[in-house]
Amino acid sequence: MLISLLRLHARRYRKGIFCLALLDFVATSALLYLPALNAKIIDSGVVEGDVPVILYIGSAMIVVAVGTAAVYSGAVYFGSRIAMAIGRDLRNVIFDHILTLSPIEATRFGTPSLITRTINDVNQLQLLILTVLQLFIATPLLCIGGVLMASVQDLPLAGTLLASIPILWGVVAILLRRLRPLLRSTQSHIDTITKILREQFAGLRVVRAFVQEEHERRRFDASNREYTGLTIRVGRLMSLMSPCVMLIVNLSGLTVLWLGAHRIDSGDMQIGALIASFFYLMQVMVSVMMAASVAIVLPRAYVCAERIQEILLTDSSVVAPSASAGLPPIQGILQLQEVGFCYPGAEVPVLRGVDLTIRPGEATAIVGPTGSGKSTLLALVLRLFNVTTGEIFLDGVNIRKIAAEDLVKAVSFVPQKPQLFAGTVATNLRYGSASATDDELWHVLTIAQARDFVEALPGGLHARISPGGSNLSGGQKQRLAIARALLSKAKVYLFDDPFSALDSDTADRLRRALFLETSSAAVVIVSQRISMIRNLDRIILLEEGVVSGVGTHVELVERAPSYRDLVLSQSMQGES
Ligand code: ADP
Ligand code: MG
């Protein structure tokens, strides 16, 4: 999974990776050559007292060392660029894929997890790529080359060196085996902590209002402590690693020196060869440690790759065709036939047998108690979800056959919870129509009864809006959302409780202007306030997912007892 993911995304950078490998090869080879030069300078220069040879070989060593450093920095530069580029591509791919998911799949992952996967998990993969890119040539080359070069210097000493590799690797492997499961669970702990943090920061006001800080702090404390404990255990094992490794490296060094001293004594070997062998030993040990660093990053990266693939392999349950074949300009006749819907995992359907036709020039109200399925019905028309039974047609064409773009252009929507984005008033409105002029913006703002407050904002149309519109009141957000929907000049308008956060006066003015502006379109308006919709030709009463009454206000008051109750309760509050 990890490998297939990386191979797919590294493909574009084949050339860069090849250059990197070449640079690494050159630099490592040079590094391997240095101890041999060192041996030569000692044996032919120092021991013989030959100053020109010392100067000659010495300057060669300086050139090789400086050259190696330069080539290595080139390799690191390329490696970082490639790793970061692959990370960027991955984030793009994940982001694009998340945008195609329907709310059903998005809820299954949950927002915090989607964010962690896009940022943190990709970072882990990036780290792995960086480590591997820097080591995949250097490590084996240094290890094998070190042993070979050492055996050129002196065969028995190279044997010692060869023997110390499995010992060092064995110790490192034992530690890594105990480390892996710990590293794996740290990743899921980060997920948990992010989840708690996000939830609590998002609900900060609520937490304050209900004086729940103490409780929340305890909850956070518990998972934080668990995470800390885990990290400490990781730290302990890691701190064990360094002394163990040093012990083995030094013991091997000692063995090399001891054996070498005897062989020099007996005249089988020169002093330069001994020093070179010692350097090769160090280089080989370093290469083993480099391999270990990959082994540390690997398990975490593996888990992250799995989590990323999980997103990428999730297909949206709502797939729209890329082009709607032969669709004439949309008039806006919306037909719902026997529509039923059941949320995945829910036992009872939210909607059953809803039959409805809405024509251009008609405004239809949907009223009903909360939870009766009003918002769900609008979501089905927008095709956020697929209907479970029945069909929805737009101008006689099944909406499953209409491209997402065309559907969005034809159907404009004001959600119950107005969603604004970071930017300005103007950028938010232009989500409705990217090419709208300022005059058009002011026009829709006037209809939405938002002109006054937008004018009062510093900067007017260019006033800043915080992420999620958090610097505006509920009513202001709602009116901007209405203005945005009006801007798109759709054939069908869906308003989900657009007056809920407005005072009656404003709501009344908005209602008049709104119906005037949309008089030639098909309008569906969900509202809890009878006073806002009582004048409409048609009111649909939705109860527990079933249409239990259709008619004018007067007809429904006569026929539908629950509608009458609703009217009575609101008139008692002085509403109508
Ligand atoms: P209304 O807008 O009339 O208040 P909704 O359409 O929002 O009602 O919700 C109708 C029912 O569907 C509710 O009982 C609610 O529990 C359920 N519901 C709404 N959204 C979801 C969801 N994403 N997953 C599962 N059930 C949901
Ligand atoms: Mg609702």
Q: Which residue has the tokens 């239809």?
A: 364
Structure tokens at 238: 């890691």
Q: Please tell me the residue having the least CA distance from ligand 1 atom 5.
A: 373
Q: In terms of residues, how long is the chain? A: 576
Q: Which amino acid is at 297?
A: V
Question: How far is the C-alpha of 426 from the C-alpha of 387, rounded, in Å?
Answer: 35
371 C-alpha to center of ligand 2: Å? 7
Q: Given the DSSP bridges, would you call strands 538-543 and 546-551 parallel, antiparallel or unpaired? A: antiparallel
Q: Which ligand places an atom closest to the C-alpha of 371?
A: 1
3-state DSSP of 148-214: HHHHHHCHHHHHHHHHHHHHHHHHHHHHHHHHHHHHHHHHHHHHHHHHHHHHHHHCHHHHHHCCCHH
- Whether 378 lines ligand 1, by a CB cut-off of 6 Å, is no
Q: How many CA atoms lie within 13 A of 312 on its CB side?
A: 20
Give residue 311's pLDDT: 92
C-alpha radius of gyration, the chain, whole number: 36
Give residue 240's pLDDT: 86
Concatenated DSSP letters for 529-574?
-HHHHTTSSEEEEEETTEEEEEE-HHHHHHH-HHHHHHHHHHHHTT
3-state DSSP of 314-365: CCCCCCCCCCCCCCCCCCCCEEEEEEEECCCCCCCCCEEEEEEEECCCCEEE
Question: How far is the C-alpha of 387 from the C-alpha of 343, rounded, in Å?
Answer: 10
Sign of the CA dihedral with 106 first, then 107, 111, and 113 last:
negative
Inter-residue contact 120 to 195 (CB < 8 Å):
no
Give residue 229's pLDDT: 92
Q: Which ligand places an atom closest to the C-alpha of 500?
A: 2
Nearest to 284, CA basis, from 149, 153, 136, 132: 149
Helix, coil or strand: residue 495: strand
Task: Give the strand order in the sheet containing 334-341.
Answer: 351-358, 334-341, 389-394, 397-398
Task: Give the strand order in the sheet containing 411-414.
Answer: 411-414, 492-496, 522-526, 363-367, 538-543, 546-551
How many Cβ atoms sit within 10 Å of the Cβ of residue 453? 17
- Whether 343 lines ligand 1, by a CB cut-off of 6 Å, is yes
Question: How far is the C-alpha of 86 from the C-alpha of 125, rounded, in Å?
Answer: 9
CA–CA distance from 454 to each of 157, 430, 481 (Å)?
Answer: 83, 15, 13
Give residue 576's pLDDT: 42
- Whether 376 lines ligand 1, by a CB cut-off of 6 Å, is yes
Per-residue pLDDT of the chain (576 residues; tens, 9 = 90+): 788 888 888 888 999 999 999 999 999 999 888 888 888 888 888 878 888 888 988 999 999 999 999 998 999 999 999 999 999 999 999 999 999 888 888 888 888 788 888 998 899 999 999 999 888 888 889 888 988 888 888 888 888 888 888 888 898 888 888 887 887 787 777 777 877 787 777 776 666 667 667 777 887 888 889 889 988 998 888 888 888 888 988 898 898 889 888 888 888 888 888 888 888 888 888 888 888 888 878 878 888 898 899 999 998 888 877 776 667 788 889 999 999 999 888 888 999 999 999 999 889 999 988 889 999 999 999 988 899 999 999 988 898 888 888 888 899 999 998 889 999 999 999 988 888 899 999 999 999 999 999 999 998 899 999 988 888 998 999 999 999 999 988 899 999 998 888 888 888 899 889 888 888 899 999 988 888 888 888 999 999 999 988 999 999 889 888 888 888 888 776 544
Helix, coil or strand: residue 526: strand
Inter-residue contact 425 to 448 (CB < 8 Å):
no
Q: State the first-to-last Cα distance of the chain, in angstroms, to the nearest integer.
A: 63
Q: Given the DSSP bridges, would you call strands 464-465 and 423-424 parallel, antiparallel or unpaired? A: antiparallel
Q: Please tell me the residue having the least CA distance from ligand 1 atom 16.
A: 371
- Whether 372 lines ligand 1, by a CB cut-off of 6 Å, is yes
Q: Kindly give the number of the ligand 1 atom that is closest to the alpha carbon of 368.
A: 3
Question: How far is the C-alpha of 298 from the C-alpha of 291, rounded, in Å?
Answer: 11
Ion ligand 2: protein residues whose beta carbon lies under 5 Å = 375, 416
- Whether 371 lines ligand 1, by a CB cut-off of 6 Å, is yes
Mutate to test the pocket of ligand 1, among 104, 375, 377 (most ligand atoms within 8 A of CB): 375
372 C-alpha to center of ligand 1: Å? 8
Long-range contacts of 506-514 (CB under 8 A, 24+ apart): 506/449, 506/475, 507/532, 508/532, 509/449, 510/447, 510/448, 510/449, 510/479, 510/482, 513/446, 513/447, 513/448, 513/449, 514/447, 514/448, 514/482, 514/486
Nearest to 519, CA basis, from 267, 309, 332: 332
pTM: 0.76
Q: Which residue has the tokens 């041996």?
A: 39
